[in-house]
Amino acid sequence: MTSKFITSLSPSLKVTPSLRFTGTAAAQFQCPADDGYYGDHTQCDKYYDCYRGTMTEKLCPDGLVFDHSQSPKVEQCNYPFVVECGEGTVLQPAQPTGVECPRLNGYFEHEDPSNCGHYYECTGGIPVLRTCADGLVFDEFTGTCLWEHSGVRSGCVKKAEVLPDGFSCPNITQIHTNGQVLDHSRHVKGGDCRYFYVCVDGKHPREVGCERGLVFNDVTLLCDVPENVSGCENYYPDDINNLRPNPPGKN
């Protein structure tokens, strides 16, 4: 017989709330004629190693359940999301290591219920923070990240990205002077004529700068010569102005 315990898998379901531990002993199990590994009828993470008429009771690592979908010759535990426990409603007592890992193994929601885009992958009680792709939220019932509009989570608060200086992308539609909507909006950096912000896809802020000798024009949303931008005429010293490049579109 082979022995295989899964400890790494794509995001899966944390222990289903209906599964519970009770102190009562499992119903007596009798090994069948064939040697192999067989699951307990009431406790999802308990199974039996039957060999030549001798039964050895075993437990899966905390957070995993016995995978009865495999051949009896294969000893394997898996995540509850992967295996339907059937009639079993009992689990071993949880062995939490912190709010991140209520069980030693599994995938669990972030402790902040409004933070739906992050979750924890716990292996042996060690948590690793994972992030859903943009626009997705973690769903504990499917063990995957699903679209926000699917309605699988409530109370989610999407926190805007904030640069160290406190700038975050405003929720606006920006129109260029040519009448086109800008996919990546541009915004003035207060107190600095050369540098400005670009919001990639309208929500990911980045600080960028014009070529030396030019300043950001908040009307054209392009880099321009200082005398064309009110308040920035004297941004550069005279020796730099004499060496400055031409603004875009001018030779």
Q: How far lies 118's CA from each of 54, 113, 137, 194, 225, in Å?
A: 46, 10, 8, 36, 45
Has residue 17 got a pLDDT over 90? no
Answer whether 127's CB lies under 8 Å from 105's CB. Answer: no
Nearest-CA neighbor of 91 among 115, 70, 66? Answer: 66
Share of the chain above pLDDT 70, in %: 84
Note the pLDDT of residue 234: 92
Answer whether 173's CB lies under 8 Å from 205's CB. Answer: no
DSSP 40-62: -SSBTTEEEEEETTEEEEEEPPT
- Mean confidence (pLDDT) of the chain: 83
Note the pLDDT of residue 4: 39
Note the pLDDT of residue 175: 85
Nearest-CA neighbor of 67 among 78, 55, 51, 53? Answer: 78
Mean of pLDDT values over 9-32? 47
Answer whether 223's CB lies under 8 Å from 215's CB. Answer: yes
Nearest-CA neighbor of 40 among 23, 58, 53, 54? Answer: 58
Q: What is the C-alpha separation between 245 and 13, in angstroms, rounded?
A: 58
pLDDT in tens, 70-88: 999 999 999 998 888 877 7
- Confidence band, pLDDT 50/70/90 cuts, at residue 235: very high
pLDDT in tens, 191-232: 899 999 999 888 889 999 999 999 999 999 999 999 999 999
Note the pLDDT of residue 24: 38
Note the pLDDT of residue 238: 72
Tell me the domains of the chain and their CATH numbers.
Answer: 2-78 (2.170.140), 106-150 (no CATH), 160-251 (2.170.140)
Note the pLDDT of residue 208: 96
Which residues make Cβ contacts (< 8 Å) with residue 164, sequence separation at least 6?
none
Residue 230 in tokens: 């009110």
Note the pLDDT of residue 126: 96
Q: Is the dihedral of CA 211, 216, 219, 221 positive or negative?
A: positive
Answer whether 47's CB lies under 8 Å from 39's CB. Answer: yes
pLDDT in tens, 110-123: 999 889 999 999 99
Residue 36: in which H helix or E strand, if any? strand 36-39
How many CB atoms neighbour CB 129 within 10 A? 10
Note the pLDDT of residue 143: 81
pLDDT in tens, 54-74: 999 999 999 999 998 899 999
Note the pLDDT of residue 195: 96
Note the pLDDT of residue 179: 82
